Structures are given as structure tokens and as C-alpha cells.
Amino acid sequence: MDLRGTISPDRPLLVLALAEEAAHLDARLPVLLTGMGKINAASAVAATLARTPLPAAVINLGTAGALHPGWAGTHEVGSVLQHDLDTDFLRRLTGQSVGAPLALGDGPVLATGDQFIADDDARAALATRAHLVDMEGYAVASTAQRFGVPVRLIKQVSDEAGDGAARTWQESVDQCARLLADWVRDHL
């Protein structure tokens, strides 16, 4: 976890997993780098929100894999689910709803899980439930909501979440970081 800048109630906190994704952001903005995965994201956001003044909003910026052909660009997520948690089974087993999808507004569905999807079969299975896939979005959104802080998930497509996705992500992450920084300049 790495918090850069000062959080204040009059501006958003930008949350990203990796320094590579934040490389072109304005250094005057508060940025939290969580590390990869749901546990790192949830614990970093919770620790940060628990000890500082709450920001105006939490904006999760990052790269995401496209689960459908032709998806590119920057997208604001409309809802997010955990693809590696069997919410339906757990509800049947316990009668409790655990890890239900989160509605955030209009936009594509993001599937979050602790796997980097780099396999055509895994991508095809996820494509029945979502448009994009990442490793932190659900954790950031859930944690911000628990603290009562408005949250937005902004994802830049970096790869097609299939065979070769790891190579494609490595080749595209700097350009994705530039496009995310452009989104911040244009929308915040």
C-alpha cells in the first residue's frame, strides 16, 4: 500500500492497483496504490478511509480485460460482481446473501476476481456474465460503500482476457495509463 498526496473532503481519492497504471496522473492528486488482488485492494482502501478525512469520492482507475470481441477504450462500470465467489451457492447453503453484485449506475458489467484471465475458455465462461474483468474493482467499490463514500470504477481495456493477455497487458499498460490520466483531466 502506498498513499501519495493528501486526502481532503473536497476532492476524490484515486485508487489504482499498480504504479504502472498511475504513471501519468497529476502528482497533486491523492493516489492510493493498493497492490494487486481483492484482499490488497480492500485492506488498503479500508485502512486509508479509516484513518484520514473521508474524500469526496473514491475513483478506482485501472486496466481491465475485454470479455467480448471489439471492446476497447475507457469505460465507467455500471455494476460489478465477484466471479470467483459462488454467491448463489452460498445463499442456498446459508440463507445469507454474501458478495452480491453491486449496482453503481449505467454502464458495462465488471467481473472482479483474484485471477488474471489469460485463457480463452475462462474468458468465454465469464463473457456470459460480464463485459470486462479485473482484479480489484469489487473490493474497492464494496469497501468505499461500507464507509459511505461515493465510488466510481473507471476501466481502460488493456487486453482481450484470453490467450496472450499477459503479453498484451505488458505492452499496453503505459498507453492505458496515459488514457486513464486523460480521463481524469477531462472528468475531474
**Domain boundaries along the sequence of the chain:** 2-187
Indicate if the alpha-carbon torsion angle 105, 154, 42, 13 is positive or negative.
Answer: negative
Q: Distance between CA atoms of 26 and 95, rounded to whole angstroms?
A: 46
Q: CA-CA distances (angstroms) from residue 124 to 2, 75, 87, 120, 136? A: 35, 20, 20, 6, 20
- Quote the DSSP letter at residue 20: G
Q: Distance between CA atoms of 62 and 136, rounded to whole angstroms?
A: 9
Strand, helix or coil at 183?
helix
- Residues 127-182 have pLDDT tens digits of 999 999 999 999 999 999 999 999 999 999 999 887 888 778 899 999 999 999 99
DSSP lists the bridge partners of residue 102 as 80
Give me the CATH code for the 2-187 domain, please. Answer: 3.40.50.1580
- Residues 26-65 have pLDDT tens digits of 999 999 999 999 999 999 999 999 997 999 999 999 999 9
Mean pLDDT of the chain: 94
Q: CA-CA distances (angstroms) from residue 169 to 118, 127, 153? A: 10, 19, 19
